[in-house]
Amino acid sequence: MEYLIVKWIHVVSSTILFGTGIGSAFYLLVASLRGDARAVHFVSRHVVIADWMFTTPAIVVQPLTGFYLAHLAHFAWTSRWLLWSIVLYLVAGLCWLPVVWLQLRMRDLARDADAAGSPLPDAYRRYFRWWFALGIPAFLALVVVFYLMVSKIV
């Protein structure tokens, strides 16, 4: 029973991590492409909140439950699927850390532009391009981790 509970927590937290990430990214992408400072301010403010409320706890829960599941199931720590899952999770995390910083800066720039009634500054577009570029490997890494979690093969 303990294994099933931990597995349920692991699956739910992975769903929250992936779902919040892709949902937030979609809304920030659409708002940013539209270029309306007021809309971007509104969306980016909520994306930052969602990251702290949902993504961050899921990022912590994932490795804790994952390592515990591997222990309970007696998976070999040298299994290629497990090693690749860990590496790809770290890749996604290394992309996410600068993304959080970028989102904070993007939010602040959008807030300032909205308050001044001016368009988004060039710095916003620069940050946006980096945010988008880092999102691609993070997204792909997590898709592969999902595959590895389900198939347990490489």
Q: Are the beta carbons of 154 and 144 closer than 8 angstroms?
A: no
At 32-72, the pLDDT tens digits run 999 999 999 999 999 999 999 999 999 999 999 999 999 99
What is the predicted pLDDT for the residue at 122? 98
- In this prediction, residue 154 has a pLDDT band, given cuts at 50, 70 and 90, of confident
What is the predicted pLDDT for the residue at 1? 76
Supply the pTM of this predicted model. 0.91
At 67-108, the pLDDT tens digits run 999 999 999 999 999 999 999 999 999 999 999 999 999 999
Q: What are the sequence ranges of the domains in the chain?
A: 2-151
Cα-based angle 91, 151, 57 (whole degrees, multiple of 5): 45
